[in-house]
């Protein structure tokens, strides 16, 4: 197994079930906040919070003056735009791995959609809710349970929505299920759902969603060791992202391609793609994917026997992880550093980092890393 194989399942951008979403916002402020989600979720959060704080929800008596989907009065926000703002805000929290405020926010969107009989927006909000359960909490039971409710709602209320809305909801539900099944080892069912989702994708006419689909499927094949299939999907997604200048998804494709080439020991191509991904994540200050990319680069250098370069990148990755305060990932990084010091015959430094590894692995109940640290010491 590749020293960096554990990184693949952590890549937070590509595994989310929501792509860029070709959604039209009547309020330019919300369009901007949505566009910023993949590059600067903190800014998206600030924009939506300010929007919700500075405007009041239009009262029922104002419906003749303010249409449910129109905002000519900049002192009020319509029910639909309020739901849109709450959805963006919840997704920003989700991307920042803040599950509790994400769930609180999306529940507000669900309640308002129910009160205003906005069926599509309500189900759309439930899909985000289910995504939070899996993405942030890894609670497959809650996520799948909510998806069951969503599928029932789509079926029973499809006549009250446009066909394009129904197809988008069905597509997103299938993708969420496929992602969960892929990452929990149910590969056969995951692939069946990916095939079904593709049928809806054709009708969506959404290039960004097509890229997202290709990268998700490529990641699935990569996780399961189907390298030729993974390469085909990832390269297709990469070139389409480059063609439409989707920088966020280009960076994701670069990371996934770097991971694939690293596993296949094609280190020059792996470094090329990883470096491009790292430049994007560094520019937009995306701490977690930057840490993962730096770790991947360090692993490549380590496998090449370029130990000093490996140490530099492992230390840079550790600086990023220290900001995130994630004990298990920090333990793994310290184990990598200890292993490099052993290669350099610097036993005092190796023991120092092995000691830190054992402490952090114990704190985070990471039995795998703890066992690896003990094995490393034994050698």
Rounded to 5 degrees, what angle do the CA atoms 235, 240, 244 make?
A: 150
The pLDDT-based confidence of 23 (bands split at 50, 70, 90) is confident
Side-chain half-sphere of 320: how many Cα atoms within 13 Å?
Answer: 21
CB 273 within 8 A of CB 11: no
Q: How far apart are CA 253 and CA 218, in angstroms?
A: 9
The pLDDT-based confidence of 324 (bands split at 50, 70, 90) is confident
Alpha-carbon 79 to chain mean position: 28
Q: How far apart are CA 87 and CA 48, in angstroms?
A: 9
The pLDDT-based confidence of 325 (bands split at 50, 70, 90) is confident
Spans of all domains in the chain: 23-117, 119-204
Give 122-162 pLDDT, tens digit per residue. Answer: 999 999 999 999 999 999 999 999 999 999 999 999 999 99
Residue 301 makes CB contacts below 8 A (sequence gap 6+) with 307, 309, 310, 313
Instruction: State residue 71's pLDDT score.
Output: 56
pTM, whole model, 2 decimals? Answer: 0.90
Segment 27-51 mean pLDDT: 95
Instruction: State residue 349's pLDDT score.
Output: 96
Instruction: State residue 86's pLDDT score.
Output: 98
**DSSP code of residue 75:** T
| Residue 178 parent element (H or E) | helix 163-183
Q: What are phi and psi of 279, to 5 degrees?
A: -65, -40
Give 49-62 pLDDT, tens digit per residue. Answer: 999 999 999 876 55
Alpha-carbon 34 to chain mean position: 15
* DSSP helix, strand, coil percent of the chain (3-state; round to 5): 75, 0, 20
The pLDDT-based confidence of 75 (bands split at 50, 70, 90) is confident
Instruction: State residue 246's pLDDT score.
Output: 95
Average pLDDT of the chain, as a whole number? 91
The pair of structure tokens assigned to 98 is: 């803040």
Whether 6 shows a pLDDT value over 50: the answer reads no
CB 215 within 8 A of CB 14: yes
Query: Which one has a higher pLDDT value, 13 or 289?
Result: 289
Query: Which one has a higher pLDDT value, 10 or 316?
Result: 316
Q: How far apart are the first and last CA of the chain?
A: 19
Strands (DSSP E) found in the chain: 56-57, 76-77
Give 354-374 pLDDT, tens digit per residue. Answer: 999 999 999 999 999 999 998
Instruction: State residue 1's pLDDT score.
Output: 43
Give 180-235 pLDDT, tens digit per residue. Answer: 999 999 999 999 999 999 999 999 989 999 999 999 999 999 999 999 999 999 99
Give 249-277 pLDDT, tens digit per residue. Answer: 999 999 999 999 999 999 999 999 999 99
Alpha-carbon 24 to chain mean position: 22
Instruction: State residue 15's pLDDT score.
Output: 46
Whole-Å CA distances, 238 to 102, 161, 241, 364: 30, 34, 5, 36
Q: How far apart are CA 321 and CA 315, in angstroms?
A: 10
The pair of structure tokens assigned to 94 is: 């989700």
The pair of structure tokens assigned to 325 is: 């305060």
């Amino acid at each position: 197994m590749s020293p960096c194989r554990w990184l693949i399942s952590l890549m937070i951008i590509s595994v989310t079930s929501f792509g860029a979403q070709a959604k039209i916002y009547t309020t330019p402020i919300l369009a901007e906040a949505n566009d910023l989600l993949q590059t600067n979720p903190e800014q998206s959060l600030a924009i939506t919070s300010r929007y919700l704080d500075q405007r009041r929800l239009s009262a029922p008596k104002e419906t003749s003056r303010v249409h449910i989907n129109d905002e000519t009065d900049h002192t009020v926000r319509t029910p639909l735009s309020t739901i849109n703002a709450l959805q963006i805000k919840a997704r920003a929290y989700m991307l920042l791995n803040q599950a509790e405020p994400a769930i609180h926010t999306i529940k507000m969107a669900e309640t308002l959609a129910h009160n205003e009989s906005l069926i599509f927006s309500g189900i759309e909000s439930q899909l985000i809710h289910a995504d939070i359960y899996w993405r942030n909490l890894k609670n497959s039971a809650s996520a799948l349970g909510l998806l069951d409710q969503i599928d029932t709602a789509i079926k029973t209320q499809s006549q009250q929505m446009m066909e394009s809305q129904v197809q988008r909801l069905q597509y997103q539900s299938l993708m969420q299920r496929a992602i969960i099944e892929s990452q929990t080892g149910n590969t056969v069912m995951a692939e069946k759902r990916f095939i079904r989702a593709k049928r809806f994708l054709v009708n969506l006419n959404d290039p960004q969603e097509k890229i997202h689909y290709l990268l998700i499927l490529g990641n699935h094949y990569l996780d399961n060791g189907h390298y030729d299939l993974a390469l085909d999907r990832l390269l297709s997604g990469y070139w389409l992202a480059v063609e439409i200048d989707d920088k966020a998804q280009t960076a994701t494709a670069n990371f996934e391609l770097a991971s694939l080439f690293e596993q296949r020991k094609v280190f020059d191509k792996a470094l090329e793609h990883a470096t491009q991904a790292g430049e994007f994540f560094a520019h937009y200050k995306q701490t977690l994917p930057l840490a993962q990319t730096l770790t991947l680069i360090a692993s490549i250098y380590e496998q090449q026997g370029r130990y000093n370069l490996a140490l530099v990148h492992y230390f840079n990755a550790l600086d990023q992880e220290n900001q995130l305060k994630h004990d298990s990932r920090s333990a793994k990084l310290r184990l990598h550093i200890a292993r490099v010091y052993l290669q350099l015959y610097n036993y005092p430094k190796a023991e120092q980092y092995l000691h830190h590894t054992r402490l952090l692995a114990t704190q985070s109940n990471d039995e795998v890393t703890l066992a690896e640290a003990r094995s490393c010491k034994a050698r």
